[in-house]
Structure 1
Amino acid sequence: MANPYRSKQGLSARPVGNSDEIQLRIDPVHSDLDEEISGLHRQVTELKNVAQEIETEARVQNDLVSDLVNILLDFSSFINPLPDGRIW
């Protein structure tokens, strides 16, 4: 019976109970381990860079929203509300 988790490259992902875990089976006969490890290292590095970019962008956008809220609060203190309580 053929192994249902074997891929052409010699790596296979197997289902696990915890979604944070990944299991890899490496078949040294059908693949070069050094190439596989280098490829995985590159992918991890790329994912770390993407995560850092997302964190930086989120921080910039949060700062922008905070600045806009402060501007609106400052502006609203100078406005006299309409008779029905509306500002605009």
Structure 2
Amino acid sequence: MANPIYGSGPLRSREGLISRPAASSDEIQLRIDPMHTDLEEEISGIHNKKKFRALEMKGVGQEIETEAKFQNGIISQLACNISMISK
């Protein structure tokens, strides 16, 4: 039942916004008390964390690519050496 003080939305409560259980690992859960927190500041903080994580993941991806190229080079050299030895 709708409470005029807290609103009628499914995510409203006395404590502020509450999230529903996440359906998958791609979703995040967020709880913000609008009475004690600046909503825009919270959103900005989450956005900045997301950008930082994306940069971290890009760096990890580049490291993996570099390592894969290095290992591929070693394997190619070994294959070449083995073919020369077996001739």
Residue correspondences, number: 73
- CA distance in structure 2 between the aligned counterparts of 1:75 and 1:41, rounded to whole angstroms: 51
- Following TM superposition, by how much is the alpha carbon of 1:20 offset from its aligned partner in structure 2, in angstroms? 1.6
TM-score (norm 2): 0.69
**For 1:38-62, what per-residue CA distance to the aligned partner results, in whole angstroms no more than 9, with x for missing partners?**
2111101110101100110111011
CA contact (8 A) 1:14 1:22 kept: no
Q: Could you tell me the percent identity over the aligned residues?
A: 37
Paired amino acid for 2:83: S
Q: What residue ranges of structure 2 are gaps of 5+ in the alignment?
A: 1-14
Instruction: State the Cα RMSD in Å.
Output: 2.4
Alignment match, 2:4: none
TM-score (norm 1): 0.68
Q: Looking at secondary structure, tell me which structure has more helix per residue.
A: 2
Paired amino acid for 2:73: D
Alignment match, 2:84: 78
Sort the Cα spacing of 1:60 and 1:13 in 2 relative to 1 into closer, same or farther, 3 A. Answer: farther
Q: Looking at secondary structure, tell me which structure has more strand per residue.
A: 1
Question: Structure 1 residue 62 and structure 2 residue 68: aligned?
Answer: yes
